[in-house]
Structure 1
Amino acid sequence: MRLKHKVALVTGSSQGIGRAIAVRLAQEGADIVINDLEEDEQARLTAEQIRVLGRRVCIVAADIAQVDNCRRLVRESVERMGQLDILVNNAGIEKRAAFLDVRKEDFDRVLQVNLRGAFFLTQSFVRHLASSGRGGKIINTSSVHEELAFPHFTSYCASKGGLKMMMRSLAVELAPLGITINNIAPGAIETPINSALLRQPDQLAALLARIPLKRLGQPQDVAGAAAFLASADADYITGTTLFVDGGLLRDYHEQ
């Protein structure tokens, strides 16, 4: 098991990609801190899936859009698990709106969760590692839309583009501390956020026509990439984005 004796904090891990990452890291031997807005039934289900693997697990509810919550999340995670070695900034939201209709509160919420939350949670995590003189791994769940335009989701694209440059800058700044940071950029993944798309055969067919591998990704596809980047196999990889998109970005074209 590549992550034995490691502890990973995975934000937004009560369902979807976050749950798949948390479970996969546990399969690799890591103990897990589950985070979401609430300690609800979905979060408890993720915890049970990890517990049956024989790993330690706890749930720490926190809204990472609030900077003080980011600091509390790291503090409580360390108090309950003893240490943190891996941070997966997975929590994210999107708000659809034409540019002229974007509301300030929606723009703020998207940037606060997707970018500011990841920034200050990473800061608290790095302070924890630095205080104990240990290296660690940071993995951000970004999106193909850190590169690919997405009309009607401009705030989301801005947040993911910002996450890309945050990652690249921190890769240089944190390397002397033995800390690596990388992004995973999923394409179209079959998760609850895409449930409406799955109920619209015409739209789904049009999307699949733009994906060279001709299928939606699964949360496990992203989780496998996260397990690799969290492991010693990726010790010499930092400052890069790993696209998990079935070739979508390299063969994208408008219909």
Structure 2
Amino acid sequence: MKPQKTAIITGAGQGIGLAIAEKLAAQSINLILNDLEEGLVTEACERISRIHGVSTIAIAGDASSEKVIESMIKTALSNFGTVDIVIANSGITLFGAFLEYSRADFMEVSRVNQAGTFFLAQAAARVMKDQLNGGALLFTSSVTAHQSHENLAAYAMSKAALEMLAKNLVLELAPYNIRVNTIAPGATATNRTILDPEYENTWSKITPLGRAASVQDIANAAAFLVSEEARHITGQTLIIDGGWTSVSPSPYA
């Protein structure tokens, strides 16, 4: 019998991160789940463990924090012995017009989205290298890294950076059989977006496939990219948007 794998997922208390966690749990993968909100991630772990019977540990805190990153890695190793999959899903969106955008907001978006992903990937890759059996890293980008979207210049910039990071890391990590890929979700119905009563209706009208994505749509793609079925895929970005980036009509039109 193959040994169980261990995955670390940030931003996993709800939405896309939680859906990915549930998908991996159904494959008997042990989980270290992180979210800024302790109540959310604790509840997520309890629910997943109860339903899927896998070991699931919650670590609350800022996923870009050096201490939290260290805690996630150490917890995975001390409880399960390996770090096999890391999904850097945590991120923030701070809207604002380019001409008025503040330095504070820019630095915060960069810190969480770029630095948080970079240093979690670095810490995980160091462990995977020493384990000698490879691993899979997955970053969460956005369709805004491919098409312009009003009031999201800083956010789009940070997400495009993650796609280039995945591509660049192929040079350094492929020799250790560590794969690095990125998903770029489009409009997705999550706990946050459905607070806007017009969100799904608006995006359904401008998405070629006729609807916004579900979190399961995104989780299915993520689970594939970190699986053995994708063992010859690295340095790639998979856009999951129902065709929106092919036509790119603005939701504000």
Could you tell me how far apart the structure 2 residues matched to 1:209 and 1:65 are? 36
SS in 2 for 1:100: helix
Which residue of structure 1 aligns with residue 31 of structure 2? Answer: 32
Change (3 A) 1:54 1:146: same
Structure 1 unaligned blocks of 5 or more: none
Cα RMSD of the aligned pairs, angstroms, is 1.8
1:9 aligns with 2:5: no
Q: Which residue of 1 aligns with 2:168?
A: 169
Contact 2:89 2:139 in 1 (8 A): yes
Counterpart AA for 2:226: A
TM-score by length of 2: 0.93
Distance across 1 between alignment mates of 2:23 and 2:175: 29
Q: Does 1:46 align with 2:14?
A: no
**Are 2:218 and 1:222 aligned?**
yes
- Report which stretch shifted further, 80-89 or 114-123: 80-89
- Residue 137 of structure 2 aligns with which residue? 138
1:157 corresponds to: 156
8 Å contact from structure 1 (residues 4, 28) kept in 2: no
Q: Deviations over 1:126-173 (max 9, x none)?
A: 111112222000111111111111121111101001001001001222
Is 1:235 the counterpart of 2:231? The answer is: yes
Instruction: Tell whether the 8 Å contact from 2:82 to 2:131 is kept in structure 1 after alignment.
Output: no
Deviations along 1:191-243, one digit per CA (max 9) or x if unpaired, are 1231343x13xx65443222001111100001111111111100000011111
* Percent of aligned pairs sharing the same letter: 36
Equivalents in 2 of 1:204, 1:228: separation in Å? 26
Secondary structure of the structure 1 residue equivalent to 2:77? helix
Residue 105 of structure 1, CA deviation = 1.8
Preserved contact between residue 143 and residue 186 of structure 1 (Cα < 8 Å): yes
Contact 1:23 1:46 survives alignment (8 Å): no
Q: Report the equivalent of 2:180.
A: 181
Cα 1:72–1:44 change in 2 (3 A) is: closer
Alignment of 1:115-126 (within 5 A): 115-126=114-125
* Structure 1 residues 4 and 195: CA distance shift in structure 2, 3 A: farther
Counterpart of 2:25 in structure 1: which amino acid? A
Aligned residue identity for 2:23? R
Q: Which moved more, 1:14-23 or 1:28-37?
A: 28-37
**Residue pair 2:13, 2:44 contacting (<8 A) in 1 also:** yes
* Aligned equivalents of 1:113, 1:102: Cα separation in 2: 17
Distance in 2 (alpha carbons) for counterparts of 1:65 and 1:173:
22
Q: Give me the whole-angstrom Cα distance separating, in 1, the residues matched to 2:56 and 2:23.
A: 13
Point out the more displaced range, 66-75 or 226-235. Answer: 66-75
